[in-house]
Structure 1
Amino acid sequence: MSEAAVSPAVDEDEAALANPFVRCLVRLIRAQDSYGSWEGKSDAELLADFIVTRKQRHAMPVIGDPEPDVLWRLDMFYTAVGLAIEERSGLMTSPMTEMKPMGASDAWCSRPGGWSLCRDIHRFGFETFRKLAEAGTKLVDDATAAIEAYPGVAPA
């Protein structure tokens, strides 16, 4: 009996879903499920809304108001970054993301690494699970490196 060939994309998704940051994000999302409606869903199903393909992104307007679901995903992502930093460093962290309407639904986003003007926050998402894992891991790695570089500043 021969084994079925597994596509590289499936292997890549499985590896991304096993990433420590992604595991942290999944735990956080599952903790939000107070009614058990996500109990039977796989991790990939829970994170499916974080994936926004290029085709989906192009179908969205350049400037638009973010829906509550998008803001929730943005909050979950950055809260997971904070939790992963806390797990690694032992220091309590919390994300600082503030959304303020500025004209045509622009928003100022405070995020690890600095402030940026987010005109397309309604398009928040990642091309693949691998890119989701890479983005979260990079933010965690950068913050952890800063904590290690300046050990006296972080606990102050």
Structure 2
Amino acid sequence: DDEALASPFVKCLLRLIRTQDSFGLWEGHSDAELLAEFIITKQQQRAVPFGGDPDPDALWRLDMFYTAVALAIEERSGVSTSPTIEMKPVGASGGWAFCRDVHRFGFETFRKLAEAGTKLVDDATAAIEA
């Protein structure tokens, strides 16, 4: 887990999360504590009901993850980027057609979180440099 928390993508995600803390409530929290909400075990995923609107926390995780991907791509490539889909409840977002199981968005471990983000950043920067 320490290696995953030290990865450049996870560091980028942590910076992004910490910028959301305008009142300083998370100042004393460790990196692992801040990322704990992204860790969803298979048992927890099965317990999440599929119907209805996604939980606001799930939408927040999705937004933070893909915004961090865009930010990491920008930092590595020097090309200005931004996420293209904003997820909203009540079917107001066309992004749901592309994001299956939004209700269950998360990762089993910090390592899987780091690997998923790093792969997206690596693939995008390779495409930019090609």
Q: For residue 120 of structure 1, report the CA deviation from its aligned partner.
A: 1.6
Aligned counterparts, 1:1-156, within 5 A? 13-99=1-87, 108-109=94-95, 117-149=98-130
Uncovered stretches (5+) of structure 2, i.e. residues with no partner = none
Runs of 4+ in 1 over 2 A off after TM superposition: 98-102, 105-110, 116-119
- Give 1:75 deviation, angstroms: 0.8
* Identity between Structure 1 and Structure 2 (%): 73
Aligned counterparts of 1:128 and 1:63: Cα–Cα separation in 2? 25
Q: CA deviation at 1:107?
A: 6.0
Structure with higher strand content = 1
TM-score w.r.t. the length of structure 2 is: 0.90
Higher relative contact order (CA 8 A, sep 6+): 2
CA 1:65–1:72: 2 relative to 1, 3 Å: same
Partners of 1:29 and 1:138 in 2: CA distance: 20
Distance 1:106 1:62, change over 3 A: farther
Deviations 1:43-84 (A, max 9, x none): 000000000000100111233411222211111111100110
Counterpart residue type for residue 120 of structure 1: D
Give me the whole-angstrom Cα distance separating, in 2, the residues matched to 1:127 and 1:47. Answer: 12
Equivalent pairs counted in the alignment come to 130
Aligned partner letter, 1:128: T
Offset of residue 144 of structure 1: 0.2
Q: Deviations over 1:97-141 (max 9, x none)?
A: 233668xx696438xxxxx53342011100100000000001000
TM-score w.r.t. the length of structure 1 is: 0.76
- Supply the distance in 1 between the matched residues of 2:55 and 2:124 (Cα, whole angstroms): 29
Structure 1 residue ranges without an equivalent (≥5):
1-12, 111-115, 150-156
How far apart are residue 16 of structure 1 and its match? 0.4
1:143/1:119 CA distance change after superposition, 3 Å: closer
Q: Which has the greater radius of gyration?
A: 1
